[in-house]
């Protein structure tokens, strides 16, 4: 993949505001709810508990639940596998963060499984630092933690944790790793890296996700290369800006619009299929 000469500076400019829109779970560290750094072993433990509940669009609910559980258990949150399942289930229900009943039913097992994992691997920072590569760690996370993605093609929960860890601490393995790929990334691919598919003169989103010509391995490789092209030293910084592209949510309805303060100041608005509608309102 060759990045167009004018696209890299526009992507850098587009990505800059997202430094002020980090994942909600990190507010717990900035505000002192968690009395340790995000890059510490305990901090990485919180990030893994959070990432194990990761669902695109559901990050806020997962964050609220982890914050509520930490408020209830303190550092004993890292030993949830030692409390009765029913007690943890009741605390999850009391937290009220997750609306989906089927998802809530899985949460106690997921969190207890993460805490089993803490016991097996020891300090997470050491475990990450000693990895020959993080693809190995992805397979270990998915294979050992309940509902982490053993049968997932993209294994995005594990990749999401490693993305959080890279932002919290760095780690040299992060430079060669393939970050999660979501719908925002794929919309960006269609709109900026190849001609969009059109039907009746209108770009059609969501038609490119499962095609054999853009399978899981190619998706991960494509965006890993893009990330290194735009942010050679910190490739993990590309995830949030691309994930937010035309993704519903935020005060301006799309997350990208919220970060940019509208479409008019957005460096990507010239190629964005949604921008003309909003630009007409922003005059």
Model confidence over 100-135: pLDDT tens digits?
Answer: 888 889 999 999 999 999 999 999 999 999 998 999
Q: CATH second-level architecture of 33-170?
A: Orthogonal Bundle (1.10)
For residue 50, the Cα-to-chain-centroid distance in whole angstroms is 10
Q: What is the mean pLDDT of the chain?
A: 89
In this structure, the number of other CB atoms found within 10 A of the CB of residue 268 comes to: 20
- In this prediction, residue 98 has a pLDDT band, given cuts at 50, 70 and 90, of confident
Global confidence as pTM: 0.90
Contact 224, 179 (CB under 8 A): yes
> The tokens of 282 are what?
């922003």
Model confidence over 136-156: pLDDT tens digits?
Answer: 999 999 999 999 999 999 999
Enumerate the CATH 1.10.340 domain ranges in the chain, comma separated: 33-170
Out of 38-52, 92-106, 120-134, 190-204, pick the least confident.
190-204
């Amino acid at each position: 993949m060759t990045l167009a000469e004018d696209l890299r500076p526009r992507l850098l400019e587009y990505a800059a505001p997202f430094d002020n829109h980090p994942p909600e779970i990190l507010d717990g560290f900035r505000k002192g709810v968690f009395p340790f750094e995000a890059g510490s072993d305990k901090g990485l433990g919180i990030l893994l508990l959070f990432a194990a509940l990761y669902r695109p669009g559901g990050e806020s609910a997962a964050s609220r639940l982890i914050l509520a559980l930490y408020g209830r258990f303190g550092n004993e949150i890292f030993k949830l596998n030692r409390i009765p399942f029913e007690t943890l289930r009741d605390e999850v229900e009391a937290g009220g963060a997750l609306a989906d009943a089927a998802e809530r039913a899985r949460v106690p097992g997921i969190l207890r499984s993460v805490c089993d994992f803490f016991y097996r691997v020891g300090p997470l920072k050491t475990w990450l630092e000693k990895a020959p590569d993080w693809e190995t760690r992805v397979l270990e996370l998915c294979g050992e933690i309940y509902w982490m993605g053993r049968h997932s093609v993209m294994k995005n929960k594990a990749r999401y944790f490693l993305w959080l860890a890279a932002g919290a601490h760095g780690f040299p393995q992060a430079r060669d790793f393939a970050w999660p790929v979501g719908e925002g990334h794929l919309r960006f691919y269609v709109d900026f890296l190849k001609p969009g598919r059109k039907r009746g003169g209108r770009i059609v989103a969501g038609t490119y996700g499962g095609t054999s010509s853009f399978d899981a391995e190619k998706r991960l490789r494509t965006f890993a290369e893009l990330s290194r092209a735009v942010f050679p030293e910190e490739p993990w910084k590309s995830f949030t800006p691309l994930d937010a592209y035309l993704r519903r949510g935020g005060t301006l309805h799309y997350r990208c619009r919220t970060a940019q303060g509208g479409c008019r100041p957005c460096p990507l608005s010239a190629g964005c299929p949604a921008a003309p509608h909003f630009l007409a309102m922003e005059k």
